[in-house]
Amino acid sequence: MQINGIPFATTDWSKVERTEHKGESGVAYWRTREFGAIRVRLVEYSPGYLADHWCSKGHILFCLEGELHTELQDGRQFVLQPGMSYQVADNAEPHRSSTAVGAMLFVVD
């Protein structure tokens, strides 16, 4: 990844508008900033969240709070707890997220 044309700046995430994205169950709240082709998000999943789709977008994801379960379409499953991350390329391995207890993530894609 090459990052170009973005001047130094800080982000106060509490001041970034929150949008709601319903899952198959539960809801995700996104605070999103876009910098050219790079999207940066603070994502909060409610307890009981289950994504309503398989995602093929690449991400770098860091778990800040809670616990995130990620299932790959091939059946493999992974659990992220605070301080853990995952990374996946675009169109590499379809995945979907769920959480029983809720989670807060920092995501770059």
Q: What is the pTM of this model?
A: 0.92
Q: Is residue 14 part of a domain?
A: no
Which pLDDT score, from 0 to 100, does residue 20 have?
A: 98
What lies within 8 Å, CB to CB, of 86 at 6+ separation is: 59, 60, 61, 70, 78, 80
pLDDT tens for the chain, residues 1 to 109 = 678 889 999 999 999 999 999 999 999 999 999 998 899 999 999 999 999 999 999 999 999 999 999 999 999 999 999 999 999 999 999 999 999 999 999 999 9
Give me the number of domains the chain comprises: 1
* CATH number (domain holding residue 59): 2.60.120.10
Which structural domain, as residue segments, surrounds residue 43? 19-108
Q: Is residue 79 part of a domain?
A: yes
